[in-house]
Amino acid sequence: MMLKQLTLSLQFGKLDAAARHRAALPRHKVARWIRHALQSDAEITVRIVDAEEGQALNRDYRHKDYATNVLTFDYTQEPVITADLVLCAPVVAREARENGKTLQAHYAHLLVHGTLHAQGWDHETSEEDAQAMEAREIDILAGLGFKSPYEA
């Protein structure tokens, strides 16, 4: 499988337990996870934020006043995918703990998920679209050595 080119910016905002999140997100792994989900070359910024920044972005851009696990800001899909993926560290950590997953496995899933969103995949449009997106995520993550994120 020929992987697409990726220009990656990996940023960490002010975080509690920042070392734990940085350890779960080595740059080479983040790039690998994203590249496996790409259908075209891309320029992507990944920003790991605290709950306050995550909530503000979700409120301002999606009109939902809570911090969510991942936000995708997609700008272009051709000729190069350009997007920002914003992951809220405390939400990701809580979800990983609640679902019995490692922090790294959950980050990998959310980065694949966000990358698919940046390419037009959408699980909120219909049940059929949700199933197609989940199946694609499962395939990508299996190729990366991760279990299905949708199984307990």
pLDDT surpasses 80 at 80: yes
Q: Is-cis flag, bond preceding 90, omega within 30?
A: no
pLDDT digits (tens, 9 = 90+) for 98-149: 999 999 999 999 999 999 999 999 998 889 999 999 999 999 999 999 999 9
In 17-126, where does DSSP find H-type helix?
18-24, 27-37, 51-62, 89-98, 103-118
Q: Do the Cβ atoms of 89 and 52 come closer than 8 Å?
A: no
What φ, ψ does residue 56 adopt, rounded to 5°?
-60, -45
Q: Over the Cα atoms of the chain, what is R_g?
A: 14
The percentage of residues in the chain with a pLDDT greater than 70, rounded to a whole number, is 99
Give the C-alpha separation, 96 to 71, whole Å.
17
Residues paired with residue 87 on neighbouring β-strands, in sequence order: 48, 70
State the pLDDT at residue 152: 64
Q: Do the Cβ atoms of 124 and 130 come closer than 8 Å?
A: yes
State the pLDDT at residue 1: 67
Give the C-alpha separation, 99 to 63, whole Å.
27
Nearest-CA neighbor of 142 among 64, 36, 40?
36
| Single pTM value for the model | 0.96
